[in-house]
Structure 1
Amino acid sequence: MSANRAAAVLAGLWAGILLAIGLIGAPAGFATLAVSADAGRVAGRMFAQEAYLGLGVAIVLFLLERGRARRAAEAGQGSALNANMLLLLGALFCTVAGYFALQPMMAAARAGQGPWSFGALHGVSAAFFGLKALLVLTLAWRLVPS
């Protein structure tokens, strides 16, 4: 399998995971579990697994895309920092900010600590997750060979 095809498959799988968690997994937990705290723990576990998986996939995609962008730049066909790299870096930022920065703040807010409410932080976290899904979907679309 070529590096280009591998990058397209990885981005497509990552996009599928994001959509499955956001549109199926988390809503199903809240629809079926009697206690919303239990559903929150299940959803939180899914988001945690995706965050760590997303970091790994983003690193692999970054290495693949960086090599491709560098080769294109050396051939005079673009920049080493192309649109795909920006989409990938944006998705990586959303992962780090949306999970690794906001989740500890959400836990503190749930315990009554910190200046922000849990609801406000949850909204920001959901926005980062949605933006990440859009960025990864766009990246997957762009990486598919024409």
Structure 2
Amino acid sequence: MLYRVRAVLAALWGGLLVCVAAVAAPSAFAMLERAQAGKLVARVFELDAQISLGLGLMLLMVERRLQRDAAGPVMTPNLLLPMAALFCTAAGYYGIQPLMEAARAGQGAWSFGALHAVSSLFFGLKTLAVLVLAWRASRAPA
């Protein structure tokens, strides 16, 4: 049962991230004035960060339980992948986002564009980690 829960959670999380990156953000900038689109996308990324924290923690708990029940190794790729995604969420949204706001106001050492690139890198790495986890979780347990 927990194997299915892990697979569903990872697939939902991966789908959310792909939808944000491929549908929500580009659509907002295609349809709205730049400032309005920026506000909308900022809200979408805020929700993504909150949901990512919740799903990541749930996946960590599920994976720890699966490893404990199987008396397997403590650190596995299926545990490291959500940990990496959680790190990318914390660093990318909660670390970089406040710096981006300061850069937009003309403060800080880094430009908004440079911080946006770093934030995009963290989001891309998070998406990759979650999609790899979803792929691994979709396989039948050994």
- 2:108 paired with 1:114: yes
**How far apart are the structure 2 equivalents of 1:21 and 1:88?**
18
Q: CA deviation at 1:70?
A: 2.2
Aligned-pair Cα RMSD in Å:
0.9
The 5 Å alignment of 1:1-146 reads 2-33=1-32, 35-72=33-70, 74=71, 78-146=72-140
Shift of 1:144: 1.2
Q: Which runs of 4+ in 1 moved over 2 A?
A: none
Per-residue CA deviations over 1:20-62 (Å, capped at 9, x if unaligned) read 00011000000111x2011111111101001000000111111
Using the alignment, how far apart are the partners of 2:10 and 2:36 within structure 1?
Answer: 31
- Distance (Å, rounded) in 2 between the aligned partners of 1:115 and 1:6: 44
Question: Contact 1:88–1:139 at 8 Å: present in 2 too?
Answer: yes
5+ residue gaps in structure 1?
none
Offset at residue 69 of structure 1 (A): 1.6
Q: What TM-score do the two structures reach when normalised by structure 2?
A: 0.96
Distance, in Å, in 2 between the alignment partners of 1:93 and 1:62 is 13
- What are the ranges of 5 or more consecutive residues in structure 2 without an aligned counterpart? none
Mapped contact 1:84–1:139 kept (Cα < 8 A): yes
Q: What is the percentage of aligned positions where both structures have the same residue? A: 50
CA distance in 2 between partners of 1:71 and 1:120 (Å): 45
Q: Could you tell me how far 1:112 is from its partner in structure 2? A: 0.5
